[in-house]
Amino acid sequence: MQPQFQDNRAVKLEKALDPDFIPMFGGRPLRTVRIGRDDSLDLKIILNTTKDVEEFLAKF
């Protein structure tokens, strides 16, 4: 009988080959579409008009 233990690892290497796995400091995921000009402009406006992270996240 094998002892039971709880797996508390932050990164599970057996899942490293999954397509949706993003390793720490591994860069950004592969983009499937380009960011539109309007989306980029909207993001710049929101970033420049909000005073903190909570207000920024509340806009979404």
- Per-residue pLDDT tens digits for 4-58: 778 888 777 776 666 666 666 667 767 788 889 999 999 999 989 999 888 888 8
Q: Give the number of domains in the chain.
A: 1
Any domain includes 8:
no
Q: Using the predicted structure, report yes or no on whether residue 1 has a pLDDT greater than 70.
A: no
Give CA–CA dist 57/60, Å, rounded.
Answer: 6
Q: Which domain holds residue 38?
A: 13-58
Tell me, what's the pLDDT at 37? 92
Tell me, what's the pLDDT at 38? 93
Any domain includes 1:
no
Any domain includes 4:
no
Verdict on whether the full-model pTM lies above 0.85 = no
Tell me, what's the pLDDT at 58? 87
Give CA–CA dist 48/9, Å, rounded.
Answer: 38
